[in-house]
Structure 1
Amino acid sequence: MFGINDFSRNNKLLGILSVLMIIYTGILLYSQSIRSISYWDIFVYLQNAMLFSGNNIGSQLSVPPVLSLLTSVPFKLGFISETSLFVVSGILFIFLIIGMYLLFNERFDCEISLLASLIFSMLSLIVTWALTGATDVPALSFGVWALLFTIWGLNKDFKYYYPAFLFFILAFFTRFTEGFILIVMGYYLLINFEKFKKQLTVKNILPFVVYVLIIGLIICGVYLSFQGTIPFISQFLEVSSSSQVSSVNVGYELNPYYYLQNLPEYLTSFNASDSYFVSLSTSDNSPTPLSYAFILLVVIYLLKFLSKLVNYDICEVDNKNIKIAAIILLSIFTIISYTHLSYMITELVFIVILLLYYRWLPDKDNQMDYLMLLWIGIYIIMHSYHPVKVDRYIIPILIPLTYFVTTSIQFILKDKKKVLIALLIILILMIPVNASYLSSITHENQHTHEEKVAAEWLGQYDPNYKSYNISSDRGVVFSWYLKKYVYTTIPRVLEANNESLIDKLNSIEAKYYIDSTSNTTKIAGYQCIYDNNKDTRVKIYERK
């Protein structure tokens, strides 16, 4: 296994990777600056960044704050632009690839880690979301470093647990579900418990516990002081209970195999589908043959990994038949419980299976195999169970998938030189695929363009618009464009709650209502003063 000493020994390759990623990220930044922002949540992060920089145009402080806090820094310096969010995301993307390279060094030679990291950076789902301003990739960046420092903490020095915990906190408060990386971190310590317990001295534990408590108290104190509640607890409960999710949600999808069925599209796609800029979903794309080759490689290695259950020649363990039967029965229970019981039960049983598998069967040299399999499992179980399914949610599993593609090639070819040639060929094949895909998404969303035009028109129509209440079915979007708080009033959501649009508008005394997605034809007491008459229809109504 490679560690911190190898980092200094191989800093030349790390430098090459950093330069390549700066150039590549610059290309992605150019693409993203043209694409702009379409996704609802990203406007929320921009609003929060404005709040943290001292300008309140509306906020939702129940969402994780880290990305907005980081973006507020350039905002405070006067760079109030979507581009600031893209740049921050780009820096964290580079940070992710470097962390992934170092993590893979724990299993592979540095040259193999370099190629595998570059391959990961070109996967279609990563290219789509890396610099959008969504929290998935930034949170994964912190999660990778949290796991890496945990490994170093066990194998090098206890002091690395301090940044490991800090990066876990950053990951969690960038995207709450990324907190599940703690399971992977804890699993690594459990399978190395004999070594870990030697570190559990009063000298080590007491300062670390104080450190954890201080960080925890500060975070809880800030939330309770400013919000009077701790929002991530309620969000955790919401994820645990599908009953709290309405079919009105645009991501409502009950198919538990959604992510597995669309996995090829996430890996490599020739081009974005014609409907991409409407649905913002990569699931409608056309995958390349490389995707199926990747999946085949992953399956080959997982079959090799599981073959220990039936390879009795190497199963020199006590009561081997009973232990193998127990693992099989627990696995059957996991499959049966999948989406039928609370996902936490399924997660727990899955973790127990991998712990028993590691404890009871030999060939424990490659602990990273277990970590990566657990990493895939916990995120697929959690997100497949939940009725809201969005492609970007499954981004965390792409790191372990890249890992298993690499281990499979290494298992098949054995020789390092052949492995490097195979990975280099894959990387070369991916460059034109990536270029074609990136080109297909490098244009502005027509809907976003029309919303900007409508906002500019309203500013010219009524220079005093900031003095009035404004509402829209895309309130967070127009809050950003108009740089004032705009109420979010969505007709279909109101109807689901037996409310009417006009009653809601009257209650907030809205002078203007901007219809961006609801296709209203008329609103009692309001007159349409703007209609772009385009396929992506945007209307502005003014109170009579």
Structure 2
Amino acid sequence: MIFKSISEDLNISKNDFFYLFILTVFSILITYTLISFNQVLGIYCSDVFIYLSNSLVFAGYQSSILYLYLSPVICILTAILFKLGFLSEASLYLVTGVFCIFANIGIYVLLKNKFSSLLSICGAFLFGSFSLTLLWWANGTLDVPAVALSIWTIIFTILAVDNDSKYYKIAIPLFVLAVFTRYTALFLLPLILLYYLSKHDFFTNLDLLIRSRQEFSKKLKSYIKSEEFRNILKSCAIAFVLLVLFSATILAYGSNLSFITQSSTFASGSKGEVIDNAYTTDTFFYLHDFPNFLYSDYVSFDNVIPILNGSNPMSFFLIGLF
């Protein structure tokens, strides 16, 4: 009954399950292929070694490298597989690969909110076949898993604001999980707030506050008593519990909460400028390399940095199409 209700709110009909089945099989095949490929290729991103080390610590093994504040979500899930005896980098590939599958499904569900089933599955196939997506798919990095959780956060935020406020209790905890998967997911917060404010007549209420504080006070009191506000409070409580659990886990294993200070580092770019091999001063990098991100001819490596080269004609076709 609950599943049926959610499906209806997501605009997912019985016919969509056929498309979702095809998409899931497609995503599983990509994941299996890329896990096999990455095992042969080996680890080319140094961050993956850190995630494996963190996973070992969470699984009860000793490690001299403690960066446990980095993606506790992925590392804890990988640690579960380690405890079950699957002590290999393939476990990390599998965990990140599963998130990639959910990302692809999430793209379909998100698009289905506005488009037909056919257009939605085409969009999902495109997302799952972009060179940039495949480059980081099921290879132990956090990019696509964070995107997956971000997509589902957006989906349930839209449902909460537009349909039923009960979905805040899914959207906001998912947002916390996304942040603890990759801290750049914090950039979702302004998007969530803007969407919420756009649907709640922010400027009208602001005008009301300026013109008549008494009327605004009545409206505010009425909102505080509403079911939506109660659901937001409940979702924030769940999110706070998750925040405490992750923070306590990190501290319990002897690491610190360095993620608290990372936001300033991200904003300034100082860390990347000093030690990140991928740092570039090319202002137009994303502009002239954008076609390569869609479909490139081949991948080369600059030290340990994979580079997408040679724009495929399909890239320009898509750019022209949209």
TM-score exceeds 0.5: yes
**Contact kept in structure 2, 1:87 and 1:131, CA below 8 Å:** yes
Assess, with a 3 A threshold, how the Cα gap between structure 1 residues 4 and 28 changes in structure 2: closer, same or farther.
farther
Q: Aligned in 2, Cα 1:267/1:81: closer, same or farther, shift over 3 Å?
A: same
C-alpha distance after superposition, 1:203-230 (max 9, x if no partner): 4344334333333344444445555743
* 1:292 pairs with 2:294: no
Task: Report the equivalent of 2:213.
Answer: none
**One-letter amino acid matched to 1:204:** N
Measure, in 1, the Cα distance between the counterparts of 2:241 and 2:296: 46
> What displacement does 1:23 show?
2.1
Q: Which residue of 2 aligns with 1:26?
A: 32
Residues 1:86 and 1:289: Cα distance change in structure 2 (over 3 Å): same
> Deviation of residue 83 (structure 1)?
0.9
Asked if 1:41 is matched to 2:47, the reply is yes
Structure 1 residue 89, shift from structure 2 partner: 1.4
Q: Which residue of 1 aligns with 2:59?
A: 53
Distance in 2 of aligned mates of 1:69 and 1:122: 28
1:487-544 deviations in whole A, cap 9, x for unaligned?
Answer: xxxxxxxxxxxxxxxxxxxxxxxxxxxxxxxxxxxxxxxxxxxxxxxxxxxxxxxxxx
* Structure with the higher helix share, 1 or 2: 2
Equivalent residue number for residue 9 of structure 2: 4
Match of 1:87 among 87, 94, 108: 94
CA RMSD of aligned residues (A): 2.5
SS at match of 1:178: helix
Gaps spanning 5+ residues in structure 2: where? 1-6, 203-219
The correspondence for 2:298, drawn from 263, 271, 281, is 271
Instruction: Please give the alpha-carbon distance, in whole angstroms, between the structure 1 residues aligned to 2:190 and 2:288.
Output: 26
Q: Does 1:281 align with 2:306?
A: yes
Offset at residue 77 of structure 1 (A):
0.6
Residue in structure 2 matched with residue 173 of structure 1 by the alignment: 180
Structure 1: how far apart are the matches of 2:278 and 2:146?
A: 21
Question: d(CA) in 1 for partners of 2:100 and 2:168?
Answer: 23
1:39, 1:20 → 2: CA distance? 26
Letter in 2 for 1:236: S
Q: Deviations over 1:175-231 (max 9, x none)?
A: 100221222222221221149x99762543443343333333444444455557432
Residues paired across the two proteins, number = 294
SS in 2 for 1:281: strand
Q: Output the amino acid matched with 2:281.
A: L
Q: Is the 8 A contact 2:34 2:139 kept in 1?
A: no
Flag the 1:26–1:248 CA change in 2: closer, same or farther, 3 A.
closer
Distance (Å, rounded) in 2 between the aligned partners of 1:152 and 1:252:
38
1:268 deviation in Å?
A: 0.6
Cα drift, residue 6 of structure 1: 2.6
Q: In structure 1, what is the equivalent of residue 75 of structure 2?
A: 68
For the residue of structure 2 that corresponds to 1:204, the secondary structure is: helix
Identical aligned residues as a percent: 31
**Contact 1:90–1:131, Cα closer than 8 Å, also in 2:** yes
3-state DSSP class of the match of 1:262?
Answer: helix
Q: Which amino acid aligns with 1:6?
A: N
Contact kept? 1:265, 1:282, Cα under 8 Å = no
Find the residue that maps to 1:37 and give its secondary structure: coil
Decide whether aligned partners of structure 1 residues 221 and 271 sit closer, same or farther in structure 2, where only a CA change above 3 A counts.
closer
Equivalent residue letter for 1:166: P
2:99 corresponds to which letter in structure 1?
L
Distance 1:129 1:15 in 2: 23
1:183 maps to amino acid: P
Find out whether 1:112 has 2:92 as its counterpart: no
Relative distance call for 1:66 and 1:220 in structure 2 (3 A) is closer
What SS does structure 1 have at the residue aligned with 2:231?
helix
Seen in structure 2, the aligned counterparts of structure 1 residues 245 and 89 have a Cα distance that, compared at 3 Å, is: closer
- Deviation of 1:103 after TM superposition, in Å, equals 0.4
Deviation of 1:138 after TM superposition, in Å, equals 0.7
Describe how 1:346-365 pairs up with structure 2 within 5 A. none
Q: Are positions 1:101 and 2:101 aligned together?
A: no
- Does the 8 Å CA contact 2:112/2:120 hold for their aligned counterparts? yes
User: Whole-Å Cα distance in 1 between the matches of residues 175 and 137 of structure 2?
Assistant: 20
Cα 1:75/1:228, change in 2 over 3 Å: closer
| Aligned-partner Cα distance in 2 for 1:278–1:128 | 16
1:148 is aligned to 155
Which structure is larger by alpha-carbon Rg, 1 or 2?
Answer: 1
The equivalences for 1:473-484 within 5 A come to none
1:183 corresponds to which residue?
A: 190
Q: Is the 8 A contact 2:72 2:180 kept in 1?
A: yes
The verdict on how the C-alpha distance between 1:251 and 1:22 changes in structure 2, with shifts beyond 3 A counting, is closer
Match of 1:375 in 2: none
Go from structure 1 to structure 2 and tell me whether the alpha carbon gap of 1:243 and 1:78 turns closer, same or farther (over 3 Å shift).
closer
How far apart, in 2, do the equivalents of 1:260 and 1:66 lie? 32
What amino acid sits opposite 1:290 in the alignment?
A: M
1:161 to 168, 171, 191: 168
Are 2:260 and 1:233 equivalent residues in the alignment?
A: yes
8 Å contact from structure 2 (residues 67, 255) kept in 1: no
Deviation at 1:279, TM superposition (A): 4.3
Aligned residue for 1:286, secondary structure, equals strand
Find out whether 1:255 has 2:282 as its counterpart. yes
Conservation of the 8 A alpha-carbon contact between 1:266 and 1:282: no
**How do 1:64-463 residues align onto structure 2 when only pairs under 5 Å count?**
64-194=71-201, 201=226, 203-223=230-250, 226=253, 229-273=256-300, 276=301, 278-283=303-308, 285-297=309-321, 408=322
